Structure 1
Amino acid sequence: MRRHRRAKIVATVGPASDSPEMLKALLLAGVDTFRLNFSHGTQSHHAEVHAAIRALEQEVGRPIGILMDLQGPKIRVGTVRDGKLTVEAGETIRFVLSGSDGDRSAIPLPHPEIFAAVAPGHDLLIDDGRIRVRVSSLGSDFIEAKVIVGGVISNHKGVNLPGTVLDVSPLTAKDRSDLEFGLRLGVDWVALSFVQKPSDVIEARGLIGDRAGLMTKIEKPAALERIDDIIQLSDAIMVARGDLGVEIPHEDVPGRQKELVRACRLAVKPVIVATQMLDSMISAPTPTRAETSDVATAIYDGADAVMLSAESAAGRYPREAVEMMDRIIRSIEHHKMYRSIIAATQPNEEQTAPHAVATAAADLASVIHAAAIVAYTSSGTTAARVARKRPSLPILAITPSREVSRRLCLLWGAHSVLSDDVRSYEEMVERATAFALEEEFASSRDLLVVVAGIPFAQAGTTNNLRVISLP
């Protein structure tokens, strides 16, 4: 089960992949973490999938990460007359707070938070941005808007407001119910949708505590304005390019992706690049060249993980999509340009002892041609500090926590192993040697670089570096 690549693969589970047999096939093909999308399916069905993944974990003897993705608030128009309404550029239409079967002079928009926050000049994007209207005037229960890009408005189509910060919690009643359910199941990560400001993350943290890692999905322009604070409050970040690409210009998304990956690497937080990575493989056995390049770009950027959505959840070729992503990652990571590009995007070093020790471990291991870096990590922080450097050799992360070992399935380069706490230097050396041999990271007479925190089993104390020569 050792992966011969550094970046990780996240795959969404759905009707095409929720059987125990397909889950095993996807794991063997390269999946490191499975995503349960709570926008679809029932709690009972997600529980069945969760149990199947945990049974698979037991069978293969390797940790598997499970990410639950909360739906978040959904802003939609109501019911329009005859089920659809064609609007043309240049005309003026009106949205109303209440009503049903409206026409162009009374399109229902049953979201009072929009009427409280929107202002003249703000845009409303309908149906994933296919229709764009601009607010010209408004009252307490109506909004008049000029159509900028026309099209067909049909019942319950989604509405995005890129220039408006809504006074709405990212956690709906459904989300709160799903969250408590997922935490009882024992999910490893919780992905939070519709984050606009740091307080949204704080609200979710209050409910999650330390029962799971908190992953913030970046899909709103308002979040980009406070991104440093949001990253610091989160345990991981997802670059949710689908919704983000609706609310900001398409041409801005690639640059934002690079900024977010770099910021997360600087902050020592895992980052996933997601949405439409191999989209054509929903219905075709091979991707387009552009999609292949898209995955490659995320790997060159230094992302910790790349994600499959509908490709693995509902597509005709879920296993082939995972295999293709695995092949792309391995090819890019072995390309002659990869190391120089990764080195060029290396963030400035943090001026702290733990970061300096982790950086020294990575540099030393490279200089002496060690077989691997062994990171003893009780919280995952030591392994993450080493991974931040993006070393050219694998990271063997030894942890006493089953939960941490599963969360490390998202961390670049980390191969996590569960072990009891070590109590002495001698035990540290013996266990590092044994695991390196057992997991086939090293062989006789190889060198290992071991990084740990002293005293042992104390989170966050990366302060010790040692070179081991295997007998």
Structure 2
Amino acid sequence: MSAPVHHRRTRIVATIGPASESPEMLRTLAKAGANVFRLNFSHGTHAEHKARFDTIRSIEKEVGRPIGILADMQGPKLRVGDFAKGPVDLKKGDHFTFDMNDALGDQKRVKLPHPEIFKAVGVGHRLLVNDGKLALKVVNKKPESLECEVLNDGVISNHKGVNVPDVALPIPALTEKDHQDLNFALSLGVDFIALSFVQRPQDVLEAKDIIKGRAWVISKLEKPQAIEHLEEIVRASDGIMVARGDLGVEMPAEDVPLLQKQIIKTARRLARPVIVATQMLESMIESPVPTRAEVSDVANAVYDGADAVMLSAESAAGDYPEQAVATMVRVVSKIEQDHEWRLRMDRNMMPANDSIMGGLALAAYNVGHVLGLQALSVFTKDGRNVLQVSRTRPYNVVQSISDFTIAHRLTVVWGVFPQVVEPASVTAGAEAAAKEALALAQKAGFVNGKDQHIAVLSNQPSNFGTMNDLHIVRS
């Protein structure tokens, strides 16, 4: 027997900006179903982000559940310089040069103030300008200039972004600005740091050396080079974001749906939460209703088994942030009631890894399904055992029991409903702790009626950690 329909499994991340930063709107979005709020450090001041952070922490007490807060670092931004006479029209077959000359740009050239590009790029490599709207190919290279052939008609203008899809750039994932933003976000106490421009696992490990466990690191996959190192990056990360915007610029658009499935499958196999992002309900920036294609896009991510789906400008700067969150909730909830969705979750079941934790998580999935248990409780110290349970995509609600910090990190994880319980307050002994977990589940509405059960995974619960015990208790 499956859990009640209203216990939605797929999480919703909503980006906060001018359209949604007021206490009233944040409260509305949380009550509408947002599980995690994203602070986009590409925009806004530290003072603005602190005000948003403080408001979120205050309203979560009203909604009665933990709300995750994700700080998204801007990452390196590669942009051209200024033009003397405004935008320049380029035609297919024209030659145009990028160089390090400080002179203002014209019909033939413009400054590209990134020496790393000149070191890495070679003849035959492409440069993509303005989200790929203008493509150029390098035909001649000098130490500080790249002569290119224009591959399609287009316009280039001041400060347009440049993508380099054909080569890994020797650029750190964290810029000087990112270091300042990162330290500020950690001082606030955010739950997640989203790392942009990840190309290799070393980028993740370097960030983790700075963060030192104070937040989970979410690696944004938006470069072809990241896909080449997918397994290693996922292993090094605490979570993954499928950043389809830049990924779709640097790779053929038709490859992105396949990559999305590959990334989700890899993240699930390695027990890492994965967020699908970018343009999910893009039209709702200006429209109170989505397009049918957008609804199908959200549904596809849910069918793929994503832990979370994300709103960007729709909730940060759009005219209808509340409707965007509500639409996500309706679409996700509808798909999760589909028998085909449940079949896909089971069909894509990952085999248990060779650990007690992984084996017991799979056993809990099977016991919960066979006995029709309504809820499964997991005592956890670091969230890792909860991730092992979630990766099985169980039929029943997963109630995590942890301290404040871990409860907030688990807000992005599929099917998990975090409960904040300080370890010192848990009764010693697995049987007593199991009964306490049952009481929490009953209070939360996860378990109803005397004939329902709850499975509790615990080690010595006072230690809140690894799993080596499974209890079934009757209400």
| Interval containing the TM-score (normalised by the shorter chain) | over 0.9
- Secondary structure (helix, strand or coil) at the match of 1:36 reads strand
**Partner amino acid, structure 1, of 2:446:** F
Question: Retained in 1: the 8 A contact 2:31–2:63?
Answer: no
Partner residue, 2:441: 436
**Partner amino acid, structure 1, of 2:330:** R
Partner residue, 1:452: 458
- Secondary structure (helix, strand or coil) at the match of 1:337 reads helix
Q: How does 1:257-296 map to 2 (within 5 A)?
A: 257-296=260-299
Distance 1:321 1:11 in 2: 9
For the aligned residue pairs, the C-alpha RMSD in angstroms reads 1.2
Uncovered stretches (5+) of structure 1, i.e. residues with no partner:
none
**Partner amino acid, structure 2, of 1:76:** R
Partner residue, 1:402: 404
**Partner amino acid, structure 2, of 1:22:** M
Q: 2:431 aligns with which of 409, 426, 429?
A: 426
Question: Retained in 2: the 8 A contact 1:94–1:104?
Answer: no
Offset of 1:420 from its aligned partner? Answer: 2.9
Q: 1:60 aligns with which of 35, 58, 63?
A: 63
Partner residue, 1:314: 317
Uncovered stretches (5+) of structure 2, i.e. residues with no partner:
none
Partner residue, 1:114: 117
Offset of 1:353 from its aligned partner? Answer: 1.8
- Secondary structure (helix, strand or coil) at the match of 1:81 reads coil
Question: Retained in 1: the 8 A contact 2:33–2:326?
Answer: yes
Question: Retained in 1: the 8 A contact 2:399–2:441?
Answer: yes
Distance 2:186 2:410 in 1: 18
Q: 1:99 aligns with which of 77, 97, 102?
A: 102
Offset of 1:433 from its aligned partner? Answer: 1.8
Within the alignment, does 1:330 sit opposite 2:333 as a pair?
yes
Question: Retained in 2: the 8 A contact 1:382–1:452?
Answer: no
Deviations 1:299-348 (A, max 9, x none): 00000000000000011100000000000000000012111112222223
Offset of 1:456 from its aligned partner? Answer: 4.4
Q: 1:463 aligns with which of 449, 468, 471?
A: 468
Question: Retained in 1: the 8 A contact 2:195–2:220?
Answer: yes
Deviations 1:180-235 (A, max 9, x none): 00000000000000111111111111111110110000001111111111111100
Partner residue, 1:375: 378
**Partner amino acid, structure 2, of 1:448:** I
Question: Retained in 2: the 8 A contact 1:78–1:110?
Answer: yes
- Secondary structure (helix, strand or coil) at the match of 1:134 reads strand
- Secondary structure (helix, strand or coil) at the match of 1:100 reads coil
Offset of 1:33 from its aligned partner? Answer: 0.3
Partner residue, 1:177: 180
Q: How does 1:111-260 map to 2 (within 5 A)?
A: 111-260=114-263
Partner residue, 2:418: 416
Partner residue, 2:43: 40
Distance 1:98 1:48 in 2: 42
Question: Retained in 2: the 8 A contact 1:408–1:414?
Answer: yes
Distance 2:391 2:430 in 1: 25
**Partner amino acid, structure 1, of 2:76:** P
**Partner amino acid, structure 1, of 2:443:** E
Question: Retained in 1: the 8 A contact 2:404–2:422?
Answer: no
**Partner amino acid, structure 2, of 1:101:** L
Alignment: residue pair count: 467
Q: Which runs of 4+ in 1 moved over 4 A?
A: none
Question: Retained in 1: the 8 A contact 2:429–2:461?
Answer: no
**Partner amino acid, structure 2, of 1:149:** N
Offset of 1:393 from its aligned partner? Answer: 1.3
Deviations 1:383-434 (A, max 9, x none): 11111010111111111x2010001110000001011323212321221121
- Secondary structure (helix, strand or coil) at the match of 1:68 reads strand
